[in-house]
Structure 1
Amino acid sequence: MTISNLKYQADSKPCGDKADMQTNVYHVAYAPAIKKAYLFHWGCNLECKGCLCKKEINCMALEENLDVVFRDPRFCPPQTPSATLSFGKLVSLLENIELTEVAFEGQEASLDPMLPDICWWLKDRGCKVILHTNGVAMADASHIDDVIVSLKAITPELYAGYTCRSNASLLDNFRKYYESGVNLKAESVYIPDYIGLEETEKIAKFIASVDTNIPYRMDAYFASGDNPWRPPTPEEMQIALAVARKHLKNVYCTQQTKKDLSKADLLYEVVSRMAACRSSCRRRGSNSRSAASTSRSSSGLA
């Protein structure tokens, strides 16, 4: 299956007075086989040292981005979206495809002032809505089905060192999301000798203090940005899983070990329906950007 860039073609304004209001959505990817769209948002309230967007800002499940994990960070200049969609253009784009599910990805979707309106429109159409968030800002979850919170670290000093911000509101908001009744999930990036076994156990214990049934996903770190860390081995990921499973009932991990992925390695094809970035980095060694964590864009990867 394939993920493609969706091109806006309609000129209509289906959203009344809000049609011209700007969203933070700069890229839309779509998996036709599962009728799922991925909306990528620009703008964040954290400065994570290992942010995936330091390497690639468009969907990493696109065929041209299957090399993201192993791109050399030294050849990855910063990317910036050249434009974002208005609410009306986003709706017109999505109206032209079959949809059952939509995920908010990219940087931090909770900062998009149009997020409640987008969610309302999607739910009115019968779509499942999934929010990926760092949890620092609390989103209106009244029209959201799943909330996936990237916890990063529990130790205040470690979290602040990695993100340049306190995690106090994040931990409080994680509990609030749970109490709201949404389907809550947690994730983090495993970085050996930094956010390693000790911190992983703290993360698992925190999640368990809310509910031991909350699913927890660990993503294996891969090089992104100017950092000294190394990726974990598959054996290290298995040890980390065992540590987390002492406290939680549903723990799993993602890790790409194959360097030369092709479309045959995808669970489903993803196509780009709309892409907008000034600096393109598509191949290793030539204007490429490096990535650190798959926590936001592992869609379609086996």
Structure 2
Amino acid sequence: MTANSHTPRIMPDRQTNPYMTNVYHIAYAPGIKKAYLFHWNCNLKCRGCLCKKEINCLALEENLDVVARDPHLAPPRGPESFLSLNGIMETLRKVELKEVLFEGQEATIDPHFEEICRRLKSEFGVYITLNTNGLKLPDLANVDEVVFSLKAVTPELYLDYTEVPNTKMLKNFEAIFRSGKKLRAEMVFIPGYIDMAETEAIARHIARLSPNIPLRIDAYFECGDNTWRRATPEEMSQAVALAKKHLNTVTCTQQTTDNLDKKDLFFEVKRLF
């Protein structure tokens, strides 16, 4: 990949450094003792991926303007450095830790994913939450909760958005549910694209497994070379109402102002790496 592209970046030579992970950034919220591990590389090519606009934690003070940034500017450069397994542990030992959330692109394709989880659990005893697109299903023995991103359930729409069929993803979603692992679903509402009809289709699909699986609907904001506009608060309310026809717990996230300030955040977030 070039420095300014979203294609998977060539990782450090694993023959010379076999313990290098895909973790390129760690953020930390002191107030809730929670760390966010950001992984690089992905097995999807989502047209609306936030990493086309910002690759580091959006809650950092320097990134509170992300929504207002021109989406047609050059994408951010890829990471310049990564952490080894020991580097992750050494970084996290500097803080009090209760919870770790896997963020960034796709954590499950990190060749050390399972070992990272095992070491986090054995050394810190933390609650581990995995954000995933669900295309790969690793050993989740040390993961406490999975937040599964259902980009779309309509096959043609999923393929158009990600360049990958959704058959395997949907099977893995069901497999995680059947395993008894704590499971939440999320989606991104994109006006005129992944819109009301697809929102209800996603909710129906989830409800076939259980109406008790929570769904979070994120409002799209402009990123990448797309023509889609931001969702309005009214549209988000309507999308939530549609999903609630099928599911018991539906929430949404939406940034309604371009000018966030630190006081607008629920808690402070700082950079550890």
By how many angstroms is 1:34 displaced? Answer: 0.4
Whole-Å separation in 2 of the counterparts to 1:98 and 1:80: 29
Structure 1 residue 77, shift from structure 2 partner: 3.0
* Structure 1: stretches of 5+ with no match in the other structure: 1-18, 275-302
Higher relative contact order (CA 8 A, sep 6+): 1
User: How big is the shift at 1:20?
Assistant: 5.9
Instruction: Give the structure 2 partner of residue 224 of structure 1.
Output: 223
Q: Which amino acid aligns with 2:119?
A: W
Calculate the TM-score normalised by the size of structure 1.
0.83
Distance 2:111 2:18 in 1: 13
Q: C-alpha displacement at 1:190, in angstroms?
A: 0.2
Q: Which residue does the alignment assign to 1:177?
A: 176
Equivalent residue, structure 2, for 1:96: 94
Alignment partner of 1:73: what SS?
A: coil
Q: Which residue identity is paired with 1:120? A: R
Aligned-partner Cα distance in 1 for 2:74–2:31:
31
Tell me the residue number matched to 1:189.
188
Q: Which runs of 5+ in 2 are unaligned?
A: 1-16
For 2:156 and 2:41, locate their aligned partners in 1 and report how far apart those are by CA, in whole Å.
Answer: 24
Aligned to 2:153: 154
2:65 pairs with 64, 67, 86, which one?
67
Cα displacement string for residues 237-271 of structure 1 (whole angstroms, at most 9, x for unaligned residues): 11111100000000010000012111111100000
Residue 13 of structure 2 is matched in structure 1 by none
Q: How many residues align?
A: 256
Pairwise CA distance, 1:76: 3.7
Using the alignment, how far apart are the partners of 2:170 and 2:130 within structure 1?
17
Following TM superposition, by how much is the alpha carbon of 1:140 offset from its aligned partner in structure 2, in angstroms? 1.3
1:55 to 2:53 alignment: yes
Q: Give the match for residue 135 of structure 1.
A: 134
Q: Is the 8 A contact 1:154 1:203 kept in 2?
A: yes
Q: Which amino acid aligns with 1:262?
A: D
Partner Cα separation in structure 1 for residue 129 and residue 64 of structure 2? 23
**Mapped partners of 1:30, 1:228: distance in 2:** 34
* SS at structure 2 position matched to 1:131: strand
Matched residue SS, 1:39? strand
CA shift for structure 1 position 24? 0.5
Number of the residue aligned with 1:237: 236
- Residue identity opposite 1:138 in structure 2: L
Residue of structure 1 in register with 2:121 after alignment = 123
C-alpha RMSD of matched pairs (Å): 1.0
Cα deviation 1:26-82 (Å, max 9, x = unaligned): 000000110000000001000000000000000000000001112111224342001
Distance 1:54 1:88 in 2: 29
Separation in 2, partners of 1:209, 1:263: 41
Secondary structure of the structure 1 residue equivalent to 2:108: helix
* C-alpha separation in 2, matches of 1:86 and 1:122: 14
Give the whole-Å Cα distance in 2 for the aligned partners of 1:77 and 1:158: 24
Distance in structure 2 (CA, Å) of the matches to 1:47 and 1:220? 19
2:31 is the counterpart of 1:42: no
Q: Which amino acid aligns with 1:233?
A: T
Structure 2 match to 1:106:
104
Question: Counterpart in 1 of 2:28?
Answer: 30
Tell me by how many angstroms 1:221 deviates. Answer: 0.5
Percent identity of equivalent pairs? 55
In 1, are the aligned partners of 2:72 and 2:223 still within 8 Å (CA)?
no
Counterpart CA distance in 1 for 2:77 and 2:150 is 25
What secondary structure, in the 3-state scheme, does the structure 2 residue paired with 1:173 have? helix
TM-score for the superposition, normalised by structure 2: 0.92
The AA in structure 2 aligned to 1:36 is K
Q: Distance in 2 between matches of 1:77 and 1:214?
A: 35
Conservation of the 8 A alpha-carbon contact between 2:55 and 2:76: no
Cα distance per residue 1:139-192 (max 9 Å; x no partner) = 211000010011010010000000000000110000111122211000000011
- Compute the displacement of 1:126 (Å): 1.2
Note if contact 1:212-1:248 (Cα within 8 Å) is conserved in structure 2: yes
